[in-house]
Every structure is written in C-alpha cells, then in structure tokens.
C-alpha cells in the first residue's frame, strides 16, 4: 500500500494558550487528541476517548477551557453527533449531548459555558440551540428549514439563511431578527463572529445628519429582565457588533464589521482585496488581533490585523501552500492553523503574530507519499474554454519516467475548489507514472461570485464542456496521448465525470466516479431533506426543472457511456445515497459495458477511514493503468475481484 499517511489538523487553542486539541489521522478513523503547552513546546498527546466508532470531524475548547466538544460521524456516515469531555486528563467521562437520533447535529462554537449547535431532523428543519454540557438540556434560539447557526454570544446569535449561492446572515437579539446587510441577490454572506464588547461606543443615530448617540454593549442589560419591553426596544437595549465574511456589494468575499442597535444597522469594510476571496478569519477574545487567510488563486496568504485601528501587517510567509482551520488565543499572542501542500501532508503549526515565528506542534512529523518536484513557488496556470472563459488548474506530473497517461480529476461541490493541498491519491498516481490535471471548471469557489454562479441550472452544460476542453488542453500541449486520458471525481466531481463521459464519450479511455450522483431526479428524492432544500439554486428545482434535470443526468444517457467505469461508494453515505452508484452500475452491466463497483461497508461520503483511502488509491491506480495499457494492447495489472470480508471493501 506504500507509505502510511500521518496527518494532523483541526486545532483548537485553549483561551489561555496553555493547551490545545486537534485531530490526527494515522490509522482507522481520525480521532481527537489533547495536548498541553509549556511556552511554545507541546506535550505528548492523549486520545480523547469516545464510546462511538467513527471519525471525529471537529474538536473545540470551551471559553473557560474546562471542556472539549467533539463532533463525530458514527461509522463514517453523513449524520453526526456531539459529545463532550472535560479537559482533566484523569476524567474519562464522555457524554453525548445532541439527542438527535433521527437526524444530524453540527457543532458550531461555545457560547460561554454552553455548546452552540444545529440539530436537524429528518424533515430538514434546523434548530439552532445552546446546549448545557453538564446535563444536555438545551434552549432553541431559532428553528427554520435551511437555518444554520453561525455564532452565539451573550444573548445574540447569527443565523445563516437562504439556499446555496444566495445566503445571508441575520442577527437574533431581544425579540426580533435583523437583516445585517442590504438586499443583494446572488451574494453569499456565510460566516461571522459576535464580538465580546465591554465599552460604550458613540454611534451615528437617526438620519444622515451627523448626529451620534452613546450606546453600551447589549450584554450589560441582560441582567435587568423585569423592565417592560417597548415597541422601540424589541431589538434589545445597547449595541451588538459582529465581524462577518461577505460578498455583499462586491465580487470577492471580504471582511465587514456590522453594528446593530434598536435604531438600525451600520456596516463598514474592514479588509478586502480586489483580486481574491477572504477564506476565513478569527478574532481574539480581547479584540486586539484578527488573523485572516486569503485565497489567492488557490494558494493561501496569512495576514494579521491590529483591530484597534484596522492596520493590516504584511503577509506572514506560510510553511505550506494551503492553510485553513484558524484558531487564536484569547490575547492574540498565538495562532494555530492547518498547513499542507502537495509535498507536505497536513500538519498543525503555531505562529506568533508579533515575531512571525513558526513552531510545529508535533515532534513526529506528518508523513505520506508526496508529489515529487512540486515546489512551494509553483503557480497555477489557466485553460481557455471554448467560450473564452479562463479556468484555473494545477498540474501534477511524474518525474524521472514517461507519463503513462493523464487523469482529469474533478472536485466536489460544485462550489469546491482544486487547490495545491495534500492528496495521497494524487501522490500515488503520480508516483505510478500518471499525470493528474485538477481544473477549476466554471462554478468552482474561490474565484468570485460571477464565476461561482456560472454553472447553475442550464449553465451546467457549459461546465460539462469545460471537461472536454481540458482534454483538448492535454492533447494540444503534448501532456497526454488522445487515447490515454481518463476522468475522475468525487461527489459532484463524480457526477461531472459520468456526465462528461456521456456527452463526450469519444474522449475518455476510462472513468472513476466516487460517491457521484448518476440521476439528479433520484438524488433529490433520496438525499437528506436539508441537502435537497438548499440545492435548487445550483441544480434546478426537482419539480419545475425536472426536464432539465433529466437531460443533465448520466443515467438517462447511459447508452452513450462506452469507456470502462470504476464506481466507488461508502455504504453509510446519506448525502449522495449509495443507490446512485448501484443504479448506474446495474444499467451499465445490462448494456454489457466494462464496469467495476467498489463498496466500502464501513465508510460514508468522504471515504475517510485511513485503510479505505489507501485501498482506494491503489485501486484507482490499477484501474487507470489497465485502461491506458489496454489502449496500446499492453498487459496491465489485474483488478482484484474477491468479495468483501469483515470491514474490507468489496469489488464487484
């Protein structure tokens, strides 16, 4: 199976920067571990023990540093649970607090001593809640279809509403909800943090005549609950500030500061760049420091803001090409994040914003197969589509050997993005002599709102043509022979793979669909309700756009799919149900096509279990080598066909 992967990611710093937790992936399912800091030196880790089998997807320290909240997906499925443990190393107690047996739970943050979470039932209605970790009792802040809690603090909360690509944030406070930004259809406002203000602020009041008024932080009035509520006081007394990430009024996501009072809402631009999106940000509890990650054509750039005067420091060079999952100490003296690159498996690094010095938290380095010859200075290039649109791409090529063929690998989403992060599957393929092209076809995230909307509904036909244009690019630039080009993808990328193979069947020697939708109409019917509710803006409405969905569905054109297809799925996937793979496999077999089906019985949509990902990489490489060899009549490796036993995958 090659070199074993070991990756660290998802760090959460304790407020006082004396401890942190993170996730580790080095065998089986990813798990959470806890460490203590002595200055900048981290202690050895101890596992956070949970009585449930499945990957931990998030771990967060409480505001007082006494608790850890963990989000876990039993058996690798899509539905998740929330468990809490204390940070006392001698206390092995773990308690599940979400009580959502028929749906899913999403861990958001801590509101003081309570866990902020979203509990979503099978009806698709999301309940934004504050949960007491001691007894599991909860308070519902908001309940609506498609509603998602973003942050909660001191009696105020931010709720994301709207479908994919058309989202906005509202603030709940007092007895009402407030729209934070002007109406701007097609913009996305999706992330925010409520600020823990302690001091009065003089804010503009009334009409635009320069008048101001002194407001105190709204949390100072929470204790006085006996005071009658007047009509003008329904928002609550005082002011609430928040930092939010938004495309409202512009092309690229930027950082805004919004201030809400009973007299209205104001906002100002805190940080923006004309050529790239703001990926994520964190702010210290003392409001001194904001850390920002910019997405520059797929690469990350880290900047620190002195929040008192909005001064942005020069970017701090990163130890990897992509960074994510920011966490910051209460005083802003330490920032943790995940860094990675094609030659750097994911690892957690700490940086001092003032000295700009880095420290890796684990003395045992991350490891795994890497893409040789790929330097941090590598920049993306572009493919010109048939209608003139530029498509950003990353190219990974074998070194020291001739390429056996090329595979176009398509990301999920469609709002996902191909970035120069770590991918052990790419490393495996490149080291086996296969070129990997990872394009950002229209509809990908990270390139502004116009590009993100460019594949919606009937525009999806153009995204399918983008894949064909990637084939032309490979051939025209001598990167692959015409009969040695394959297509592969995960989730939406799996769908797009099958769609390209049915609309442009003559272009591909083989294909690989991983957890992909084969029929958009059956997917709508069988996916989770809350997923279906948010998808109409991207794919089309399941009823009024049914004819369009049928025309776009690979299963409805299965007679055109002639190249060999490897179909992969996780049995516990409820995002794209396993029936989507089963029905395309059945149809292809009935048509006498060359199709293989790999089912992981102990995994879900992400295929996250370490052993399964290693098996997937090997199987993909064998499948592509077989197809490229067959194109020249060569003998190629045989794909194993033994049935599954225990937790092993089955190839049928």
570 in a structural domain = yes
Contact 243, 253 (CB under 8 A): no
Alpha helices, DSSP H, located in 215-320? none
Most confidently modeled range among 15-29, 59-73, 115-129, 407-421: 407-421
Q: What is the pLDDT of residue 209?
A: 63
Distance of alpha carbon 640 from alpha carbon 596, whole angstroms = 10
| Mean pLDDT, range 203-208, rounded to an integer | 71
Radius of gyration of the chain, Cα coordinates, nearest whole angstrom: 25
Is the pLDDT confidence value at 635 over 60? Answer: no
529 in a structural domain = yes
Contact 190, 175 (CB under 8 A): no
pLDDT in tens, 482-497: 999 999 999 999 999 9
626 in a structural domain = no
394 in a structural domain = yes
Q: Per residue in 511-528, is it b (16+ CB within 10 Å) or e — as a string? A: bbbbbbbbbbbbbbebbb
Identify the CA nearest to 643 among candidates 634, 630, 652, 632.
Answer: 652
Q: What is the pLDDT of residue 193?
A: 97
**φ/ψ (deg, to 5) at 211:** -70, 145
SS3 88: coil
- Band the pLDDT of 1: cuts 50, 70, 90: very low
Q: What is the pLDDT of residue 373?
A: 76
Share in percent of the chain as helix, strand, coil (round to 5) = 20, 35, 45
Q: Per residue in 584-621, is it b (16+ CB within 10 Å) or e — as a string? A: bbebbeeeebebbbbbbbbbbbbbbbbbbbbbbbbbbb
Angle of the 610-631 helix axis to the 424-431 helix axis, nearest 10: 40
Structure tokens belonging to residue 123: 């009806």
Q: What is the pLDDT of residue 186?
A: 93
Contact 110, 62 (CB under 8 A): yes
Contact 412, 493 (CB under 8 A): yes
Q: Going by C-beta distance under 8 Å and a sequence separation of 6 or more, which residues neighbour residue 466?
A: 385, 389, 391, 439, 441, 442
Percent of the chain whose pLDDT exceeds 70: 93
Structure tokens belonging to residue 429: 């393929």
Q: What is the pLDDT of residue 89?
A: 80
Report whether the peptide linkage leading into residue 414 is cis, meaning its omega lies within 30 degrees of zero: yes
More confident residue, 571 or 375: 571
Widest pairwise Cα distance in the chain: 85
- Band the pLDDT of 234: cuts 50, 70, 90: low
- Band the pLDDT of 228: cuts 50, 70, 90: very low
Contact 408, 377 (CB under 8 A): no
Distance of alpha carbon 347 from alpha carbon 9, whole angstroms = 6
The pTM assigned to this predicted structure is: 0.92
DSSP code string of 428-465: HHHHTTEEEEEE--TT-SSS-HHHHTTTSGGGHHHHHH
Q: Going by C-beta distance under 8 Å and a sequence separation of 6 or more, which residues neighbour residue 388?
A: none
Structure tokens belonging to residue 422: 């770590």
Number of domains in the chain: 1
Q: What is the mean pLDDT of the chain?
A: 90
Structure tokens belonging to residue 75: 């058996």
**φ/ψ (deg, to 5) at 502:** -95, -30
7 in a structural domain = no
Distance of alpha carbon 489 from alpha carbon 572, whole angstroms = 19
Distance of alpha carbon 157 from alpha carbon 57, whole angstroms = 23
pLDDT in tens, 493-545: 999 999 999 999 999 999 999 999 999 999 999 999 889 998 999 999 999 99
Task: Return the CATH number at 407.
Answer: 3.40.50.1820
| Mean pLDDT, range 386-411, rounded to an integer | 95
503 in a structural domain = yes
Q: Quote the domain boundaries for residue 399.
A: 381-619
pLDDT in tens, 77-135: 889 999 999 988 888 899 999 988 888 999 999 988 899 999 988 888 889 999 999 88
SS3 415: coil
Is the pLDDT confidence value at 651 over 70? Answer: no
Strand order in the sheet with 189-194: 189-194, 239-246, 254-261, 264-271
pLDDT in tens, 420-453: 999 999 999 999 999 999 999 999 999 999 999 9
566 in a structural domain = yes
Q: What is the pLDDT of residue 391?
A: 98
DSSP code string of 283-304: E-TTSSEEEEEEEETTEEEEEE
Is the pLDDT confidence value at 647 over 50? Answer: no
pLDDT in tens, 39-52: 767 778 889 999 99
Q: What is the pLDDT of residue 652?
A: 57
Structure tokens belonging to residue 194: 């409520």
- Band the pLDDT of 3: cuts 50, 70, 90: low
pLDDT in tens, 604-625: 999 999 999 999 999 999 999 9
Q: What is the pLDDT of residue 400?
A: 85
Is the pLDDT confidence value at 2 over 80? Answer: no
End-to-end CA distance of the chain: 21
Distance of alpha carbon 652 from alpha carbon 377, whole angstroms = 43
């Amino acid at each position: 199976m090659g070199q074993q992967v070991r990756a660290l990611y998802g760090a959460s710093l304790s407020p006082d920067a004396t401890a942190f937790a993170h996730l580790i992936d080095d065998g089986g399912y990813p798990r959470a571990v806890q460490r203590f800091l002595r200055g900048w030196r981290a202690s050895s880790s101890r596992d956070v023990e949970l009585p449930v089998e499945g990957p931990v997807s998030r771990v967060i320290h409480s505001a007082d540093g006494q608790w850890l909240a963990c989000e876990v997906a039993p058996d690798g499925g899509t539905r998740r649970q929330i468990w809490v443990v204390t940070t006392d190393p001698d206390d092995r107690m773990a308690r599940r607090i979400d009580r959502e047996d028929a749906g899913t739970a999403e861990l958001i943050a801590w509101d003081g001593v309570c866990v902020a979470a979203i509990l979503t039932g099978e009806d698709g209605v999301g309940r934004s809640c504050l949960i007491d970790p001691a007894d599991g009792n909860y308070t519902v802040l908001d309940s609506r279809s498609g509603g998602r809690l973003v942050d909660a603090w001191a009696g105020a909360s931010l709720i994301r509403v709207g479908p994919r690509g058309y989202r906005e944030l509202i603030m709940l406070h007092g007895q009402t909800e407030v729209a934070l930004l002007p109406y701007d259809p097609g913009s996305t406002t999706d992330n925010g943090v409520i600020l823990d203000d302690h001091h009065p602020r003089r804010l503009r009041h009334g009409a635009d005549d320069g008048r101001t008024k002194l407001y105190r932080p709204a949390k100072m009035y929470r204790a006085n609950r006996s005071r009658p509520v007047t009509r003008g006081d329904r928002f609550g007394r005082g002011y609430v500030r928040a930092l939010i990430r938004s495309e409202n009024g512009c092309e690229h996501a930027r950082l805004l500061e919004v201030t809400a009072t009973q007299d209205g809402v104001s906002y100002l631009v805190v940080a923006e760049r004309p050529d790239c999106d703001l990926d994520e940000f964190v702010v210290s509890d003392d409001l001194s420091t904001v850390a920002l990650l910019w997405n520059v054509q797929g690469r990350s750039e880290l900047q620190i803001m002195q929040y008192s005067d909005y001064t942005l420091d020069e970017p701090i060079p990163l130890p990897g090409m992509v960074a994510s999952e920011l966490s910051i100490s209460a005083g802003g003296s330490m920032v943790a994040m995940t860094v990675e690159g094609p030659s750097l498996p994911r690892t957690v690094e700490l940086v001092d914003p003032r000295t700009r010095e880095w420290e890796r938290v684990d003395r045992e380095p991350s490891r795994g197969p890497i893409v040789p010859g790929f330097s941090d200075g590598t920049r993306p290039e572009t493919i010109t589509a048939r209608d003139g649109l530029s498509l950003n791409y990353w190219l990974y090529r074998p070194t020291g050997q001739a390429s056996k063929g090329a595979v176009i690998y398509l990301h999920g989403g469609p709002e996902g993005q191909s970035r120069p992060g770590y991918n052990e599957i790419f490393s495996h393929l490149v080291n086996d002599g296969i070129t990997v092209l990872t394009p950002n076809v229209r509809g990908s995230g990270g390139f502004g709102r116009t590009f993100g909307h460019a594949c919606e509904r009937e525009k999806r036909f153009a995204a399918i043509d983008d894949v064909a244009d990637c084939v032309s690019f490979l051939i025209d630039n001598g990167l692959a022979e015409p009969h040695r080009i394959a297509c592969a993808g995960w989730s939406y990328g799996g769908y797009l793979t099958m769609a390209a193979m049915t609309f442009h069947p003559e272009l591909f020697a083989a294909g690989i669909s991983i957890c992909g939708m084969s029929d958009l109409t059956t997917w709508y019917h069988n996916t989770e309700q809350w997923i279906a509710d948010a998808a109409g803006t991207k794919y089309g409405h399941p009823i009024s756009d049914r004819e369009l969905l049928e025309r776009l569905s690979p299963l409805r054109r299965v007679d055109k799919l002639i190249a060999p297809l490897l179909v992969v799925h996780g049995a516990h996937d409820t995002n794209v149900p396993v029936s989507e793979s089963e029905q395309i496999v059945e149809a292809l077999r009935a048509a006498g096509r060359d199709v293989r089906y790999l089912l992981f019985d102990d995994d879900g949509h992400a295929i996250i279990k370490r052993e399964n990902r290693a098996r997937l990489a090997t199987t993909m490489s064998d499948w592509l080598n077989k197809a490229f060899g067959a194109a020249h009549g060569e003998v190629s490796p045989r794909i194993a066909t033994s049935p599954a036993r225990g937790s092993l995958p089955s190839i049928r």
